[in-house]
Structure 1
Amino acid sequence: MKKSIVGRLALVFSLSLMLPLSVMAAGGNVHLDKANNDLTDQASLQRGAKTFMSYCSGCHSTQYQRYQRVATDLGIPDDLMKENLILDPNAKIGDLMTNSIPEKDAAKWFGAPPPDLTLVARVRGVDWLYTYLRSFYADPTRPFGVNNIIFPSVGMPHVLEGLQGIPEPVYTIKTVDGKEHKTVTSTRVDKMGELTPQEYDQTVRDLVNFLEYSGDPVKLERHALGWWVMAFLVFFTIIVVLLKKEYWRDVH
């Protein structure tokens, strides 16, 4: 009886771990482009932080970070952080990176309060974010005039439209049971914004790079420490094997 209960608990625990993956995979028939971001590229992280503060922080927060920690990790002097990246004149360098938009007003304007983005890269994945920010297209039927290929009926405006331009949908038509079904599979930009397509892709990659850093600021340190741990375990194993041979030498 006890083994049966333990087995059921183990099954429930396993399913609970698999559930987030299955939810993220839902609707996963859309191809995700590779972000190919690099957490060791400090210049990219700095550009990503600037893009986030300029275009995203008005609605979204990263409230589990502090300005001071970001400045230190990204190699940004405190005075430059205050002048260029802290947009709230009342905020201090040691404050959490919250936004000033009232939650009730945000819920009224967008249908729901914009989520905190500290952990969004860990939840969604960097490839999903990279593809999402490059998949908006003009849709006059939507409240903000845009839709998204991998997030249909999205309630967010295309805040980077000034940089990218106005993406137009490219449709694929399939015939099913004698009826034509039109699906948006890609976009094209006829009227470019401030950046070329290549420059826009790099800007999005920098932003995704910063969001991945935000979700796990010590990732590089943890990976570096992991190699030392593995080396210690290998060395310790060798010592244990030699000790075992020494202790059992007289027994045989």
Structure 2
Amino acid sequence: MKKTIRILIADDERYSRDELKHLLEEFPAVQVVGEAESGEAAVMKAIQLQPDVVFLDVEMPKMNGMEAAKSLQELKKVPLIIFATAYPQFAAEAFRYEATDYLLKPYDEEQLEQTIRRVEKLIGSRKENDISKPSGKLAVEEDGEILYLEPKEILYIYRDEKVSRIITREGDHETKTPLKDLESRLLPFSFFRIHKSYLVNLDYVTRLIPWFNGAYQLEIEGREELLSVSRNYVKALRVRLEL
């Protein structure tokens, strides 16, 4: 049985969204799970809905499609990105953001079918390459040694230039392991990305404090420093914290 492909459509024109949604609904394996009118809304809905694929228009208000694609690449679950636009001149730039495809309006149904087939293969390949769930401890290399850390003891992790710093209740550690890899290994636990460089254990969050321009700061149990929450992650974080 094929996996249902969850799709988010981002386009500031209602007619274009409706047209694409209608065309996509012809594919049995596809489910359109949401729509967004801007790049900023697309990122927010991607955090909430965790789609497999995001169809992005290029020219959108507030945050355009290219900026949205850049932000989507920083999410815990990175969706496949397909640009759907009337502007052919952005194609070269689009593939810098690891776009799966670049469709031009008005949509060619045969080309769209080819795109969906490509998506099915990529998602199938992802499923085959999924690693098994990590063990109860997080293994990290530090100064040539392997440390086994209890995830429940980790307060937060942040990326500092070329190292990831792991802040625990008992002390700090550093490793060259990328933050995205650590995040993947901590998926079964209560960790949440609040910023492109920060991963927080939600079990230790004591306060969410309004800051400025829609951003927030987090207070962590037993720590004096406050951690900044990017605007792109605020709404999803509030949902996770049940606020």
Q: Same fold (TM over 0.5)?
A: no
Greater share of residues in strand: 2
- Superposition TM-score, scaled by structure 1 size: 0.28
Which is bigger in relative contact order (C-alpha 8 A, separation at least 6)? 1
Which has the higher Rg, Structure 1 or Structure 2? 1
Greater share of residues in helix: 1
